[in-house]
Amino acid sequence: QPVVGILGGGQLARMLALAAAPLGVNCLAVDGSADACAGQVAPLVVADWSDRAALEAFAHQVDVVTFDFENVPADTAHWLAERVAVHPAPEALAVAQDRLAEKTLFRACGLPTTEFMAVDTREQLDQALAAIGAPAILKTRRLGYDGKGQFRLATAGDADAAWAALGAQAATLGLILEAFVPFERELSIIAVRGRDGEFRTWPLTGNWHVDGVLSMSLAPAPSLGPLQQRASEHARALAERLGYVGVFALELFVKDGELLGNEMAPRVHNSGHWTIEGAHASQFENHVRAVLGLPLGDTGVRGTAAMFNWIGELPDATPVLCGVDAHWHDYGKQARPGRKVGHATVCAPDASTLATRLRNIAQALGREAQVEPVLRALADV
Ligand code: ATP
Ligand code: MG
Ligand code: MG
């Protein structure tokens, strides 16, 4: 039986392992922590990225290596790639690890982005603010996730506060200043490319964030017009440029009806969790297929679907367990503020049925505010 090695043992590795099982594929995850939640459903190697002896043994046990965690050090990924097939390739991972390289690539591939400039010193922050204007967001180039490593500047007068918050990171992680985008909506497209170059996408997903963390997703995002095809073409251009193999997510803003690229995630993505029940083949199944060189599965949808993210702690499961075509996912993680501990997906044949099902579950949980933007989007259909 083929074995897929996964660097990182979080909920993404866990869901990859669960999707791999029916294909007769086993997974082996590596994580620095013995409590990593993938370890509850698949064997886990407990090792740091610098533990070459453990990684050497791991490389011999697996047929291909992939990622649950995009910030695996580039030298570790390259070192592994000398021993075993690694998908996506370390070069593609490196681009997605650096917001500056990523946005530069987007533009080179014809995907517009907001204005941005690298910031290495306090003086360059002033120069960037003069060029870009405010409001703006200062971000670390590397290692940011869930809105961490970001500072929002309402005016140029916030430069001192922004530097106090992130200046110490300039030398190690690098910084980038981005013009704030007053977007109409936020979308993502999940795409998959096989070893043979076959390329497929799922329908665009609408996303809502709270405090920089994904809160709700809706798929297919309503009222897209030509955006679906444009987003697919952008994703394909990026994948081909990178020689990408596997699933990735492209996060997009819609401003004045046009797409702007925000970032890409070189892995399965939170905004694609709805594909487990809402599509014929999920992002997890197709990632396993792609990295093993198997034919890709059907990315068509079964209807419409919405996802609630559970951040910090799980709510009562009962309303979801009792809901029609509603699906509960508990990652088996300890509750902790800001941590992604689970999600729920609700599916329906049409928008109005989905709205009714979502409203019922949200009311039972006292989470009307969380679901409200999704209900508004569904009402516009
Ligand atoms: P993720 O958890 O998706 O990896 P991240 O920490 O890498 O997040 P971003 O995706 O860059 O960070 O930002 C988080 C959210 O903050 C975005 O989804 C978007 O809602 C908002 N945001 C980020 N950059 C901008 C911008 N330039 N203008 C407006 N909003 C932005
Ligand atoms: Mg990110
Ligand atoms: Mg993001």
| Tens of pLDDT, residues 327-380 | 999 999 999 999 999 999 999 999 999 999 999 999 999 999 999 999 999 998
| Percent of all residues in the chain with a pLDDT value above 90, rounded to a whole number | 97
Average pLDDT rounded to a whole number, residues 235-241? 98
Alpha helix positions (H), the chain: 11-20, 52-61, 74-81, 90-96, 99-108, 122-132, 159-166, 227-242, 275-278, 283-292, 318-321, 351-365, 368-379
For residue 210 and ligand 1, the question of a CB distance below 6 A is answered with no
Other C-beta atoms closer than 10 Å to the C-beta of 277 total 18
For a substitution probing ligand 1, which of 145, 262, 264 has the most ligand atoms within 8 Å of its CB?
Answer: 262
Contacts of residue 219, defined as CB under 8 A and 6 or more positions apart, other chains included, come to: 202, 203, 204, 205, 206, 274, 275, 278, 301, 304, 305, 306
pLDDT of residue 350: 97
Together in a domain, 160 and 228: no
Together in a domain, 362 and 259: yes
Together in a domain, 228 and 350: yes
Band of residue 147 on the pLDDT scale cut at 50, 70, 90: confident
Query: Looking at the DSSP assignment, which residues form a beta bridge with residue 260?
Result: 253
Band of residue 66 on the pLDDT scale cut at 50, 70, 90: very high
Centroid of ligand 3 to alpha carbon of 146 (angstroms)? 7
Q: Which domain holds residue 81?
A: 3-86
pLDDT of residue 381: 72
- Buried b vs exposed e over 151-173: b needs ≥16 C-beta within 10 Å? bbbeebebbeebbeebbebbeeb
Average pLDDT rounded to a whole number, residues 153-177? 96
Of the residues 152, 179, 206, which one is the last residue of a structural domain?
179
Of the residues 179, 204, 226, which one is the last residue of a structural domain?
179
Domain membership of residue 99 (yes or no) is no
Together in a domain, 352 and 204: yes
The residue whose CA is least distant from atom 21 of ligand 1 is 212
Centroid of ligand 1 to alpha carbon of 215 (angstroms)? 13
Together in a domain, 133 and 75: no
**What mean pLDDT is reported for the chain?**
97
Centroid of ligand 2 to alpha carbon of 1 (angstroms)? 33
The residue whose CA is least distant from atom 29 of ligand 1 is 181
For residue 206 and ligand 1, the question of a CB distance below 6 A is answered with no
Centroid of ligand 2 to alpha carbon of 186 (angstroms)? 14
Q: Is the pLDDT of residue 33 over 80?
A: yes
For residue 158 and ligand 1, the question of a CB distance below 6 A is answered with no
Query: pLDDT, tens digit, for every residue of 95-132?
Result: 999 999 999 999 999 999 999 999 999 999 999 999 99
Average pLDDT rounded to a whole number, residues 5-23? 98
Number of domains forming the structure of the chain: 3
Q: Which of 164, 178, 180, 177 is nearest to 119 (CA)?
A: 177
Binding-site residue ranges:
99, 139, 144-150, 178-181, 186, 209, 262-263
Domain membership of residue 95 (yes or no) is no
For residue 328 and ligand 1, the question of a CB distance below 6 A is answered with no
Average pLDDT rounded to a whole number, residues 301-323? 98
pLDDT of residue 380: 82
Query: pLDDT, tens digit, for every residue of 67-92?
Result: 999 999 989 999 999 999 999 999 99
Average pLDDT rounded to a whole number, residues 276-304? 98
Domain membership of residue 93 (yes or no) is no
Binding-site residue ranges for ATP:
99, 139, 144-150, 178-181, 186, 209, 262-263
H-helix or E-strand containing 175?
strand 175-179
pLDDT of residue 173: 95
Centroid of ligand 2 to alpha carbon of 138 (angstroms)? 14
pLDDT of residue 223: 86
pLDDT of residue 179: 98
The residue whose CA is least distant from atom 2 of ligand 1 is 146
Query: Looking at the DSSP assignment, which residues form a beta bridge with residue 189?
Result: 250
For residue 324 and ligand 1, the question of a CB distance below 6 A is answered with no
Query: Looking at the DSSP assignment, which residues form a beta bridge with residue 343?
Result: 309, 329
Give one DSSP letter per residue of 53-93, joined into a string: HHHHHHHHH-SEEEES-TTS-HHHHHHHHTTSEESS-HHHH
Band of residue 146 on the pLDDT scale cut at 50, 70, 90: confident
**Block residue for tokens 């999704």:** 374
